[in-house]
Amino acid sequence: MTPVHALVAEYLAHLRVERGLSRNTLEAYARDLARYETFLAARGHADLATVAPEDVTACLRAVRTGDDGGRPLAPSSAGRLVTAVRGLHRFALAEGRVAHDVAAGVAPPAAPRPLPDALDHAQVAALLAAVPEDGAPVSLRDRALLELLYGTGTRISEAVGLAVDDVDLDGRSLTVLGKGAKVRVLPLGGHASAALAAWLVRGRPALAARGRGTPRIFLNTLGRPLSRQSAWTVLQQTAERAGIAEHVSPHTLRHTFATHLLQGGADVRVVQELLGHASVTTTQIYTHVTIDSLRETWAMSHPRAR
């Protein structure tokens, strides 16, 4: 008999070593499985071998409503918990710790698929124009960061995790380490390349001199790696100066990148590769954003539209 806690630890180690999941994903799985473990303990299950399908289903209901004592989970978060739980049971079966996979038939809740928020071209121009052009190191950094996020569609964690050697200014490309330790090479546009060059040559050395040396591209005022939270603050403060009323997050720029590409005629599978999505289904949510522009063109052009 292997206690649930010990089996969870083995499973997380397997995900880290064998599957190469990112730290953020592993932390999320650890939280989900800790909640599952607590739920099972309350029902008298110390060993996964005694768990029945009804227990797994009951856990899903409890985390959706908060009846297990935790905060109620949205469908997307509950779906991630189900994924973690199903993976744990599948791992236990493969390792010979249980005779049956009792979680295999438990489906995650259907999550609503809201249209992603995206800025229009004028708002992007206003956002970038709101970065001071005073030549200060912080201003050069902020311009490079925002040009990079909008110009490449990288996740904020990917952007702040970049090293200096990941940027090829001569070849105008960027090497990104994405989810699941997957590497992708992205093209750098002229604006992003120019902003990064200005930051690396005229801005970064001044901040780097204050720190102890780090290969990361983006630094804070102490010369240390810029955190995701600080990068988020940079974007929010710049959006406020630009007078953009909508909530703007780093993911907003990722949505905007994808939306503008599709509006410009890019193939959805190309956008999938650029975003680093494992499935084109994930990318296809962005195609809904362009329906308004398609409808407008149709209404103006088709003789039977009115």
Residues labelled catalytic: 155, 179, 251, 254, 277, 286
Tokens 């110009």 belong to 151
Sign of the torsion formed by the C-alpha atoms of 146, 148, 154 and 156? negative
Instruction: Please name which of 111, 127, 164 lies closest in space to residue 242, comparing C-alpha atoms.
Output: 127
> CA angle at residue 229 from 227 to 234, to 5 degrees?
95
Cβ(247)–Cβ(151) under 8 Å?
no
- Where are the extended beta strands (E) located within the chain? 167-168, 173-177, 183-187
Sequence-distant (≥ 6) Cβ neighbours of residue 182 within 8 angstroms: 276
- With a CB cutoff of 8 Å and minimum separation 6, the contacts of 152 are 174, 176, 186, 187, 188, 192, 257, 274
Burial 78-110 (b: 16+ CB within 10 A, else e): bbbbbebbbbbbebbbeeebbeebbbeebebbe
User: What is the rounded CA–CA span in Å between residue 259 and residue 266?
Assistant: 10
State the amino acid at position 51 in one-letter form: V
